[in-house]
Structure 1
Amino acid sequence: MLWWIIDGAILLSVEGWVRVTAYRQWRLLRRRQRRYGVRRVRIAAPRLADEKFLWRRLFDHDPRFTVLSDKIACKDWVREQGFAVKLPRTLWTGDDARDIPDAVWAQPIYIKAGHGWQMNIPVLSEPADRMPLIAQANEFMAQSHGLEGHQWGYANVPRQLLAEEALFLDTDLIEIKYYTFGSIVEQMVISRHGDPTTSARWLRQESGGYARDDRPTTVSPIIDVLPLPPAADEGLRIAAEIGAGFDQMRIDTMTDGEDIYVGEITVYNQGGRAHSQGHYAEAPLNRSWDLRRSWFLTHPQSGWRAIYSSALRRRIDARERQGHGLA
């Protein structure tokens, strides 16, 4: 009982620190959670997936997050780990799109910012006028997600551009995003970029296998009704292997149905939230997310963070003993 009281005081103090340090993000989360009937937001001892994402942004400063958030360095990391995966080729890197060689412009590419998300320009045929594309790409150099929303992993990523080969031009591109919790893949989100784009969420079943969810995703309001492509099984293997080293990760892949490539490894899903599930304790994105596997709780901390990490671990252990699982 004494430890519970002491830990409660520690967690309450940290909760106050969160509200001062990240008030805007905390307020946005509270507003969103209240729409779903969640009356109290807890970040110091998070229970829900959206709370855990904000906790990660504020506390879990795994050095690998910087590498994974860097679209250029991430590919090198995947190769260095020895994962048996295919990766799209990087054809050019630099800090000024005016330096992209003519030979690169002549082939189908994506121009991307290596230091952020949703900063991609498809150039699927050689443009008659490059200047608007160059200007758009160079604008990416002024943006930093590390300074926005406390997405710590991006903070130290060098600002660079890259030109990457475009894959599967002769067929509709299929994207599959695997949500991993250790080696467990709790859900897949598949998107078929045809006309129209369709998308579906596939959830892991306790009996084994995956079943399609009946709710639309953020990608498209049209639910994809086709079976999973054959490559999905290979993607599951890849995602489980990469995800095994983390408490939670999203592995983004591209496929034509047969061949599959790893496109990115995403630390902060949708900037740090779980669409339609982040408020629900029994949701797949919460029930397997064990913060005790995180870098913050598996590596020594210093100062007040050391005191806090011990209190948080004890609180999670106590929840589990009381039958509340990880929520």
Structure 2
Amino acid sequence: MDKLVKALKNPRLALFLLVEKLSFLFSDKIYLQLCFYLKMGKKLNLKHPVTFNEKLQWLKLYNRHPKYTQMVDKIEVKKYVAKKIGEQYIIPTLGVWDTPDEINFEMLPNKFVLKCNHNSGVGLCICHNKNKLNISKVKKDLSRGLRQNFYWIAREWPYKNVRRRIIAEKLMVDESGIELKDYKVFCFNGEPTIIEVDYDRFVGHKRNFYDKEWNFLDLEIQYPSDKSHEIPKPNCLEQMLLLSHKLSEGIPHVRTDFYCINDNLYFGELTFFHEAGLGTFRPVEWDKYLGSLISI
């Protein structure tokens, strides 16, 4: 409903949503050009891309390495990461299934996380008390998630051939006991550069950005930042940057996500296309600067 109201006030957004619905009509290139223009308000430069967003669209089309499929699969990526940096950074897996009906909820602990391995949030279940869990709704949500063709939404090629499954993981919480701070490290050909920290995701999502020395950066991408909200430098920052380097070597751009719990690092995920390459930068100069760090 919220999307519909916004679309009625913004004709370009309405067209964007229509193109999304009719995405099957368009080739990858045409679809990305249409979405970029309708979302960003300017033509997509694929011949000589300059900005971060433009180069991410270029990479979707022309940087299709087979290993990327494993790297975005929330199940298979654990093998990749364990081999690269060690199993001690992997969040424990409680189970893997092809369908919701295969899940034996009695065998799961009181607290756990259920999610699809191929998308970003649709079907996610964060269970804090199994006795209060609406299992029927959880299964319905997971079924909806499994039906989602995540590649089709923004033509992020790595997701195209992921075998869709469900994974259960141990529920991890930090010192707050409420949610995890998500440290997202932007890496360019193996070089960690800036760190994004998301917080208050359920009550007014915000993001702060920091450099490698943990200086606050005047940068916003899609969500507001708050300099007055001081996020302490994690004790494991140096280790996080080292592991990010190892995971991103030889890749033009990838975001390596970690959680820091009681000074212990845990791997989150790898993301090749931040905000699908359609993020709004404030100030806009950052779009060009980060783009200059991607060699294509």
Unaligned runs of 5+ in 2: 1-25
Q: 2-side partners of 1:83 and 1:275: how far apart?
A: 35
Residue number among 199, 202, 219 corresponding to 2:210 in the alignment: 202
Change (3 A) 1:72 1:249: same
Change (3 A) 1:144 1:194: closer
Q: 2-side partners of 1:184 and 1:203: how far apart?
A: 12
Letter aligned with residue 165 of structure 2? Q
Letter aligned with residue 96 of structure 2? T
Change (3 A) 1:282 1:151: closer
Q: 2-side partners of 1:136 and 1:166: how far apart?
A: 19
Conserved? CA contact 1:113–1:137, under 8 Å: yes
Q: Is 1:50 aligned to 2:57, yes or no?
A: no
Conserved? CA contact 2:89–2:267, under 8 Å: yes
Q: Is 1:72 aligned to 2:75, yes or no?
A: yes
Equivalences for residues 81-96 of structure 1 within 5 A: 81-83=84-86, 86-96=89-99
Secondary structure of the corresponding residue to residue 59 of structure 2:
helix
In the alignment of these two chains, the number of paired residues is 265
Conserved? CA contact 2:82–2:89, under 8 Å: no
Q: 2-side partners of 1:54 and 1:82: how far apart?
A: 29
Highest Rg: 1 or 2? Answer: 1
Q: TM-score, normalised by structure 1?
A: 0.72
Q: Is 1:243 aligned to 2:251, yes or no?
A: no
Equivalences for residues 149-298 of structure 1 within 5 A: 149-168=154-173, 171=176, 172=178, 173-193=180-200, 198-203=206-211, 209-218=213-222, 222-223=226-227, 224-256=229-261, 258-276=263-281, 280=285, 283-291=288-296
Equivalences for residues 10-159 of structure 1 within 5 A: 21-34=28-41, 40-83=43-86, 86-119=89-122, 120-128=124-132, 129-159=134-164
Q: 2-side partners of 1:178 and 1:187: how far apart?
A: 6
Unaligned runs of 5+ in 1: 1-18, 292-327
Letter aligned with residue 212 of structure 1? F
Secondary structure of the corresponding residue to residue 241 of structure 2:
helix
Residue identity over aligned pairs, in percent, reads 16
Conserved? CA contact 1:247–1:290, under 8 Å: yes
Q: TM-score, normalised by structure 2?
A: 0.79
Change (3 A) 1:157 1:105: same
Q: 1-side partners of 2:207 and 2:139: how far apart?
A: 31
Conserved? CA contact 1:203–1:284, under 8 Å: no
Conserved? CA contact 2:174–2:260, under 8 Å: no
Change (3 A) 1:77 1:64: same
Secondary structure of the corresponding residue to residue 136 of structure 1:
helix
Q: CA deviation at 1:170?
A: 5.4
Secondary structure of the corresponding residue to residue 137 of structure 2:
helix
Q: 1-side partners of 2:66 and 2:43: how far apart?
A: 31
Q: 1-side partners of 2:295 and 2:242: how far apart?
A: 21
Alpha-carbon RMSD:
2.7
Deviates most, 214-223 or 127-136:
214-223
Deviates most, 53-62 or 169-178:
169-178
Conserved? CA contact 1:180–1:248, under 8 Å: yes
Conserved? CA contact 1:174–1:190, under 8 Å: yes
Secondary structure of the corresponding residue to residue 255 of structure 1:
strand
Q: CA deviation at 1:283?
A: 4.3
1:322 maps to which residue? Answer: none
Q: Deviations over 1:116-146 (max 9, x none)?
A: 1223221121143311111111111111112
Q: 1-side partners of 2:72 and 2:120: how far apart?
A: 9
Q: CA deviation at 1:80?
A: 2.6
